[in-house]
Structure formats: C-alpha cells, structure tokens
Amino acid sequence: MLNLVAELNADPAVHGILVQSPPPPQIDEAAIVRAIDPRKDVDGFHPVNVAKLAMEDPTGFVPCTPLGCIRLLIEAGIETAGKRAVVVGRSMIVGKPMALLLMKRGPGGDATVTVAHSRTKDLAAVTREAEIVIAAIGRPHFLGADHIREGAVVIDVGINRIDDPTSPKGYRLVGDVDYDAVADRCSAITPVPGGVGPMTIAMLMSNCVTAAERLG
C-alpha cells in the first residue's frame, strides 16, 4: 500500500488521493495517510493540512464534511460571527476540524465554540446554550428536544442505520438528532439522509479541482 501511495504521489496525472476508511486490519491507516503528498491529500487528514487548518493557512486542504457544513451555513445566510456554537463530537474527521473552522476569522467563522463529547456532564444543558449545534457523535437520535433551544440552527452529521421492518432493506438511515422531535424548535435543520452527505461529496470534488489547479 505504501508503494502504491508513492507511485500515486509521483504520478503527475493524479491530483487527489484519499484513503477509504476503515482499511483491512493489517493496514496502518495513519501510516498511509502520512505517506500521502499533502498537496494531493484531498481529504485534509495529513498532519501538514491539519496544522495549516489550525494556523488558518489557506494553502491547506480542509476535511470535506466540516467544510461542507460551513458552506451550508454560508449559503443559507446563517450568521456565525459572535454566535454560540456547540460541536457534539471530537473526532479528527468532523468534530475537531469543525470547531477550528467555526473559530477561524471570516465568513462561516468567528463563533464562540464549545466542543462536547461522551464525557460531557449534563450535555443537554450545554447544547441548549447554543445558537448553532453540530451533531457528530455517531449515535442514532442521540439529541432530542431537551437538547435544543428554540430557534437554534442544527446541522446533523450523523448517518446511522436502525432496524425498520417496513423498509425493503430492513433498515433506514437516521441522524444523531431526533429530527421529528426537534425540527419544530429549529430555525433551520439538515435532514438525514440528504443534508450533509451531498455537501461532503461536493467539497471533495472542490478539493480535487483545487489540487489539480495547484499542481498544474
């Protein structure tokens, strides 16, 4: 796998590389990600790109899902500057970069950010303080009406399968937020599926175009 990554790094016809996660158990995913040329790391997970995000260096690549969430906020005309935002989840894929993006200077940023997680005490009290809630904890319907204040903006990153005997597949996809219980309280909320997912794909394509333009 490392040899393949080295070949792709050296191939001028290849502009973007991503690692499908999780790999088989014999593959060290972190080692593969570190081996990718940061200029071709369209997922934004290489340590160089993580550092550039923290330093607000625009030459780095940003992970696609949090970048898509910011784009949703901007396109929807939702002001983030000075707003209280709570990110529920602390993964390197969503939670941590999401918090950094909301804090950065400029459009889609300048928010006052709290990162909550599985060890947060009285999570509902924390999230009720938020004008913007980003749910990325990976638990179906984890956030209910008691977690969300009236008029809040909710972006649901979760994609979870739950059993549904009425579905032809025997299951359906739901988010980390109990949409039916929360939607009436929100000024804006993303559905699952059909909300953040398409934005993640769009941002991956955007990163690939940027990589191609930079590499020539």
Whether domain 64-198 has CATH 1.10.150.130: the reply is: no
Going by C-alpha positions, the residue among 90, 160, 82 that lies closest to residue 120 is 90
Determine the length of the chain.
216
Contacts of 190 (CB under 8 A, 6+ apart): 72, 154, 155, 156, 175, 196
Give residue-wise pLDDT tens across range 121-133.
999 999 999 999 9
Instruction: Give me the pLDDT at residue 15, please.
Output: 97
Specify the pTM. Answer: 0.93
- Greatest alpha-carbon pair distance for the chain in Å reads 53
Q: For residue 153, what pLDDT band results from cuts at 50, 70 and 90?
A: very high
Burial label for 134, CB within 10 Å (0-12, 13-18, 19+), is buried
Domain residue spans of the chain: 2-59, 64-198
CATH number for the segment(s) 2-59 = 3.40.50.10860
Burial 138-149 (b: 16+ CB within 10 A, else e): bebbbbeeebbe
